[in-house]
Amino acid sequence: MAVVNRAALDRYWPGEDPIGQRIRLGSESEPWLRIVGVAGGTEFHESGRSLEHVPQIYLPVSQHPRRSMTLMVRTHNEPTLAVAASRGAVWSVDPNQPVDDVRTMEQYAYDAHSTDYALLTLFVAFAFFALAMAAMGIYGVMSYMVSERGAEISLRLALGAERRDVLAMILRSGGKLLVLGTGIGLVAALLLSRILASVVVGVSERDPLTFIGVPLVLGLVATIANYVPAFRATRVDPMQAMRAE
Protein backbone atom coordinates (compact mmCIF):
# COMPACT_ATOMS: atom_id res chain seq x y z
CA MET A 1 0.00 0.00 0.00
CA ALA A 2 1.04 3.62 -0.46
CA VAL A 3 0.03 7.18 0.37
CA VAL A 4 0.36 9.97 -2.19
CA ASN A 5 0.39 13.72 -1.70
CA ARG A 6 -1.94 16.22 -3.34
CA ALA A 7 0.62 17.16 -5.99
CA ALA A 8 0.63 13.53 -7.23
CA LEU A 9 -3.16 13.46 -7.06
CA ASP A 10 -3.46 16.60 -9.21
CA ARG A 11 -0.95 15.30 -11.77
CA TYR A 12 -1.92 11.65 -12.19
CA TRP A 13 -5.57 11.50 -11.08
CA PRO A 14 -7.05 14.96 -11.69
CA GLY A 15 -10.68 15.04 -10.68
CA GLU A 16 -10.65 11.36 -9.67
CA ASP A 17 -10.63 9.45 -6.42
CA PRO A 18 -7.21 7.78 -6.10
CA ILE A 19 -8.20 5.52 -3.23
CA GLY A 20 -7.97 1.94 -4.44
CA GLN A 21 -5.91 2.78 -7.50
CA ARG A 22 -2.83 0.65 -8.13
CA ILE A 23 0.62 1.99 -9.01
CA ARG A 24 4.01 0.43 -9.62
CA LEU A 25 7.37 2.03 -8.87
CA GLY A 26 10.33 1.19 -11.07
CA SER A 27 10.47 -1.83 -13.35
CA GLU A 28 7.81 -4.46 -14.02
CA SER A 29 9.42 -6.75 -11.44
CA GLU A 30 8.34 -4.39 -8.66
CA PRO A 31 5.08 -5.27 -6.87
CA TRP A 32 1.88 -3.34 -7.34
CA LEU A 33 0.98 -0.82 -4.63
CA ARG A 34 -2.55 0.14 -3.71
CA ILE A 35 -3.23 3.75 -2.73
CA VAL A 36 -4.89 3.95 0.68
CA GLY A 37 -4.68 7.68 1.44
CA VAL A 38 -3.83 11.20 0.34
CA ALA A 39 -1.48 13.37 2.41
CA GLY A 40 -1.46 17.15 2.47
CA GLY A 41 1.27 19.27 0.96
CA THR A 42 4.53 20.00 2.71
CA GLU A 43 6.61 23.17 2.74
CA PHE A 44 9.85 21.28 3.29
CA HIS A 45 12.65 22.55 1.06
CA GLU A 46 15.41 20.43 -0.40
CA SER A 47 18.35 21.68 -2.48
CA GLY A 48 16.83 25.14 -2.67
CA ARG A 49 13.45 24.05 -4.09
CA SER A 50 10.12 23.49 -2.38
CA LEU A 51 8.64 20.00 -2.33
CA GLU A 52 5.11 21.29 -1.84
CA HIS A 53 4.21 20.94 -5.52
CA VAL A 54 6.38 17.88 -6.25
CA PRO A 55 4.54 14.51 -6.47
CA GLN A 56 5.48 12.34 -3.49
CA ILE A 57 4.69 8.72 -2.63
CA TYR A 58 4.98 7.48 0.95
CA LEU A 59 5.53 3.79 1.73
CA PRO A 60 5.39 1.93 5.07
CA VAL A 61 8.76 1.08 6.58
CA SER A 62 7.84 -2.64 6.56
CA GLN A 63 7.50 -2.47 2.75
CA HIS A 64 10.45 -0.22 2.09
CA PRO A 65 13.05 -0.55 4.89
CA ARG A 66 16.00 1.81 4.96
CA ARG A 67 19.22 1.97 6.93
CA SER A 68 18.37 5.41 8.27
CA MET A 69 15.14 7.33 8.71
CA THR A 70 14.11 10.86 9.59
CA LEU A 71 11.32 11.69 12.01
CA MET A 72 9.80 15.15 11.63
CA VAL A 73 7.87 16.60 14.58
CA ARG A 74 5.76 19.76 14.42
CA THR A 75 5.61 21.76 17.64
CA HIS A 76 3.78 24.89 18.76
CA ASN A 77 6.37 25.80 21.41
CA GLU A 78 10.15 25.82 21.58
CA PRO A 79 11.29 22.86 19.40
CA THR A 80 14.00 21.80 21.82
CA LEU A 81 11.37 21.13 24.48
CA ALA A 82 9.96 18.28 22.36
CA VAL A 83 13.25 16.38 22.03
CA ALA A 84 12.77 14.23 25.14
CA ALA A 85 9.16 13.43 24.28
CA SER A 86 10.11 12.52 20.70
CA ARG A 87 12.86 10.18 21.87
CA GLY A 88 10.45 8.58 24.32
CA ALA A 89 7.88 8.01 21.58
CA VAL A 90 10.47 6.31 19.38
CA TRP A 91 11.83 4.14 22.18
CA SER A 92 8.33 3.10 23.19
CA VAL A 93 8.09 1.37 19.80
CA ASP A 94 11.70 0.16 19.57
CA PRO A 95 13.93 0.62 22.67
CA ASN A 96 17.03 -0.30 20.64
CA GLN A 97 16.44 2.35 17.99
CA PRO A 98 19.16 5.07 18.16
CA VAL A 99 17.95 8.66 18.00
CA ASP A 100 20.68 11.14 17.11
CA ASP A 101 21.35 14.24 15.02
CA VAL A 102 18.38 16.13 16.47
CA ARG A 103 18.06 19.49 14.74
CA THR A 104 15.42 22.10 14.09
CA MET A 105 14.35 22.80 10.52
CA GLU A 106 16.15 26.15 10.71
CA GLN A 107 19.37 24.39 11.66
CA TYR A 108 18.90 21.78 8.95
CA ALA A 109 18.23 24.42 6.31
CA TYR A 110 21.27 26.43 7.42
CA ASP A 111 23.52 23.34 7.38
CA ALA A 112 22.20 22.32 3.96
CA HIS A 113 22.93 25.75 2.49
CA SER A 114 26.01 26.67 4.55
CA THR A 115 28.26 26.37 1.51
CA ASP A 116 25.97 28.67 -0.47
CA TYR A 117 25.95 31.19 2.39
CA ALA A 118 29.75 31.12 2.57
CA LEU A 119 30.11 31.68 -1.17
CA LEU A 120 27.51 34.45 -1.07
CA THR A 121 29.36 36.19 1.75
CA LEU A 122 32.61 35.87 -0.18
CA PHE A 123 31.07 37.29 -3.36
CA VAL A 124 29.50 40.20 -1.45
CA ALA A 125 32.84 40.97 0.20
CA PHE A 126 34.58 40.97 -3.20
CA ALA A 127 31.80 43.18 -4.61
CA PHE A 128 32.26 45.77 -1.86
CA PHE A 129 36.02 45.58 -2.33
CA ALA A 130 35.61 46.18 -6.06
CA LEU A 131 33.29 49.10 -5.36
CA ALA A 132 35.81 50.60 -2.94
CA MET A 133 38.65 50.18 -5.45
CA ALA A 134 36.55 51.76 -8.20
CA ALA A 135 35.69 54.68 -5.91
CA MET A 136 39.37 55.18 -5.02
CA GLY A 137 40.37 55.02 -8.68
CA ILE A 138 37.72 57.54 -9.74
CA TYR A 139 38.70 59.88 -6.91
CA GLY A 140 42.38 59.67 -7.84
CA VAL A 141 41.81 60.27 -11.55
CA MET A 142 39.35 63.14 -11.10
CA SER A 143 41.48 64.77 -8.40
CA TYR A 144 44.57 64.57 -10.61
CA MET A 145 42.72 66.07 -13.57
CA VAL A 146 41.58 69.05 -11.50
CA SER A 147 45.00 69.56 -9.92
CA GLU A 148 46.56 69.66 -13.40
CA ARG A 149 44.34 72.67 -14.13
CA GLY A 150 45.81 74.64 -11.24
CA ALA A 151 47.56 77.11 -13.54
CA GLU A 152 44.37 77.67 -15.54
CA ILE A 153 42.38 78.25 -12.36
CA SER A 154 44.96 80.72 -11.05
CA LEU A 155 45.04 82.59 -14.38
CA ARG A 156 41.26 82.92 -14.46
CA LEU A 157 41.21 84.23 -10.92
CA ALA A 158 44.04 86.65 -11.68
CA LEU A 159 42.07 88.00 -14.63
CA GLY A 160 39.09 88.72 -12.39
CA ALA A 161 36.94 85.59 -12.58
CA GLU A 162 34.72 84.90 -9.58
CA ARG A 163 35.69 81.97 -7.42
CA ARG A 164 32.20 80.47 -7.53
CA ASP A 165 32.18 80.72 -11.34
CA VAL A 166 35.53 78.90 -11.57
CA LEU A 167 34.31 76.27 -9.12
CA ALA A 168 31.11 75.75 -11.13
CA MET A 169 33.16 75.42 -14.33
CA ILE A 170 35.28 72.67 -12.80
CA LEU A 171 32.21 70.83 -11.52
CA ARG A 172 30.49 71.05 -14.91
CA SER A 173 33.57 69.70 -16.65
CA GLY A 174 33.78 66.78 -14.26
CA GLY A 175 30.03 66.25 -14.41
CA LYS A 176 30.15 65.70 -18.16
CA LEU A 177 32.70 62.93 -17.72
CA LEU A 178 30.64 61.53 -14.86
CA VAL A 179 27.44 61.38 -16.93
CA LEU A 180 29.26 59.86 -19.91
CA GLY A 181 31.01 57.22 -17.80
CA THR A 182 27.84 56.38 -15.86
CA GLY A 183 25.85 55.95 -19.07
CA ILE A 184 28.43 53.63 -20.60
CA GLY A 185 28.69 51.67 -17.35
CA LEU A 186 24.92 51.23 -17.02
CA VAL A 187 24.59 49.98 -20.60
CA ALA A 188 27.45 47.52 -20.13
CA ALA A 189 26.04 46.37 -16.78
CA LEU A 190 22.60 45.81 -18.30
CA LEU A 191 24.04 43.68 -21.11
CA LEU A 192 26.21 41.66 -18.73
CA SER A 193 23.31 41.13 -16.31
CA ARG A 194 21.21 39.63 -19.10
CA ILE A 195 24.01 37.24 -19.98
CA LEU A 196 24.48 36.35 -16.30
CA ALA A 197 20.74 35.84 -15.74
CA SER A 198 20.61 33.40 -18.66
CA VAL A 199 23.22 31.10 -17.13
CA VAL A 200 22.72 31.59 -13.36
CA VAL A 201 19.38 30.80 -11.73
CA GLY A 202 17.93 33.46 -9.44
CA VAL A 203 19.88 36.44 -10.82
CA SER A 204 17.70 39.43 -11.69
CA GLU A 205 18.34 41.36 -14.88
CA ARG A 206 17.42 44.69 -13.27
CA ASP A 207 18.36 44.83 -9.61
CA PRO A 208 17.31 48.30 -8.31
CA LEU A 209 19.93 48.27 -5.56
CA THR A 210 22.71 47.66 -8.06
CA PHE A 211 21.58 49.92 -10.89
CA ILE A 212 20.71 52.82 -8.57
CA GLY A 213 22.96 52.43 -5.54
CA VAL A 214 26.28 51.84 -7.32
CA PRO A 215 25.98 54.85 -9.71
CA LEU A 216 24.96 57.05 -6.79
CA VAL A 217 27.99 55.99 -4.75
CA LEU A 218 30.41 56.44 -7.63
CA GLY A 219 28.74 59.72 -8.62
CA LEU A 220 29.11 61.05 -5.08
CA VAL A 221 32.78 60.03 -5.04
CA ALA A 222 33.40 61.71 -8.41
CA THR A 223 31.65 64.90 -7.27
CA ILE A 224 33.77 65.05 -4.12
CA ALA A 225 36.89 64.34 -6.19
CA ASN A 226 36.01 67.34 -8.37
CA TYR A 227 34.94 69.66 -5.61
CA VAL A 228 37.77 69.22 -3.06
CA PRO A 229 40.78 70.04 -5.30
CA ALA A 230 38.83 72.74 -7.14
CA PHE A 231 37.85 74.35 -3.83
CA ARG A 232 41.45 74.27 -2.66
CA ALA A 233 42.67 75.76 -5.95
CA THR A 234 40.20 78.66 -5.73
CA ARG A 235 41.42 79.47 -2.21
CA VAL A 236 45.06 79.85 -3.29
CA ASP A 237 46.37 83.37 -3.95
CA PRO A 238 46.42 83.68 -7.78
CA MET A 239 49.68 85.68 -7.83
CA GLN A 240 51.53 83.12 -5.70
CA ALA A 241 50.23 80.30 -7.87
CA MET A 242 51.37 82.10 -11.03
CA ARG A 243 54.85 82.73 -9.59
CA ALA A 244 55.09 79.04 -8.64
CA GLU A 245 54.25 78.09 -12.20
φ, ψ for residue 203, nearest 5 deg: -95, 125
**Nearest CA to 12 among 25, 1, 23?**
23
* Proportion of the chain above pLDDT 90, given as a percent: 4
How large is the C-alpha radius of gyration of the chain? 34
Give the confidence band of 7 by pLDDT, cuts at 50, 70, 90.
confident
State residue 42's pLDDT score: 59
Task: Look at residue 38 and tell me whether its pLDDT is greater than 80.
Answer: yes
State residue 110's pLDDT score: 81
End-to-end CA distance of the chain: 96
Boundaries of every domain in the chain = 1-65, 76-112, 113-244
Give the confidence band of 126 by pLDDT, cuts at 50, 70, 90.
very high
